[in-house]
Amino acid sequence: KNQVEQSPQSLIILEGKNCTLQCNYTVSPFSNLRWYKQDTGRGPVSLTIMTFSENTKSNGRYTATLDADTKQSSLHITASQLSDSASYICVASGAGSYQLTFGKGTKLSVIP
Amino acid sequence: DSGVTQTPKHLITATGQRVTLRCSPRSGDLSVYWYQQSLDQGLQFLIQYYNGEERAKGNILERFSAQQFPDLHSELNLSSLELGDSALYFCASSDSLLTSNTEAFFGQGTRLTVV
């Protein structure tokens, strides 16, 4: 069964600090790994998409890494801002599949 | 704004009733996906349509059905509603099937409350 596990479930950090969110997936055969940002009550917004051959991808202050051998990914946020407060969702897609498998997300709170 | 429009934004209805959720994909997108997000849960894939045809089914209940019309908008029909059907329902669209770098854009969701 395809699964995506994220840790931690929630995280509180001070404005300006960095943080790293973790994702483990068991999707096989694997195609790509996505990170989304979801504000409360809103639709997810894509941050990065990485194929199995990519190790890292950046989008502004967001940097995602992927290790397809260990089936792990991380999302690093630098110099956090109050507007970064949201849920960050890791999503894996299987090769030849039209379906995305979503993790439950990490709820990030950035406080002044 | 993702370009994906969902209506209505909020819906409150009684148990046993039937509702229809509507989704207009981004201009030019042929593929539409429906997801359910219950409280504190990850998004669960329900069903996908591509250019009017059903292409994939997830954990969609028999009480739920969907279709994609010739103008590519899609509707999700939920019937015999139960309290547990209360959730956020998201629609997403993409210009093609979800290959390696195909982007999927999400609407703002319809919040369904069954009382």
Q: A7-38: per-residue pLDDT in tens?
A: 999 999 999 999 999 999 998 888 889 999 99
- Residues from chain A contacting residue B31 (CB–CB below 8 Å): 98
Question: In the numeric block, which tokens belong to residue B28?
Answer: 């030019």
CB–CB of B48 and A98 under 8 A? yes
Residues with Cβ within 8 Å of A21's Cβ and at least 6 positions away in sequence, in order, are A6, A7, A8, A11, A74, A75, A76, A77, A88, A90, A106, A108
Q: How far is it, in rounded angstroms, from Cα A103 to Cα A90? A: 5
- The pLDDT tens digits for B45-83 are 999 999 999 988 888 999 999 999 999 999 999 999 999
**Residue of A99, A101, A104, A107 for testing the chain B interface, max B β-carbons within 10 Å:** A99
> Residue A70: CB partners within 8 Å, gap ≥ 6?
none
* Cβ contact, residue pair A4, B2, below 8 Å: no
Q: Which residues contact A68 (CB under 8 A, 6 or more apart)?
A: A30, A52, A53
**Between B42, B50, B106, which is nearest A43 by CB?**
B106
Summarised one tens digit per residue, pLDDT across range A50-90 is 988 899 999 999 999 999 999 999 999 999 999 999 999 99
Alpha helices in B16-99 (DSSP H): none
Q: Which of residues 6-45 of A touch B (CB under 8 A)?
A: 31-32, 41-45
| Mean pLDDT across chain B | 93
Test B98 with A100 for CB contact under 8 angstroms: yes
Residues B17-54 have pLDDT tens digits of: 999 999 999 999 999 999 999 987 889 999 999 999 99
Which of B13, B114, B18, B31 minimizes the C-alpha distance to B64? B18
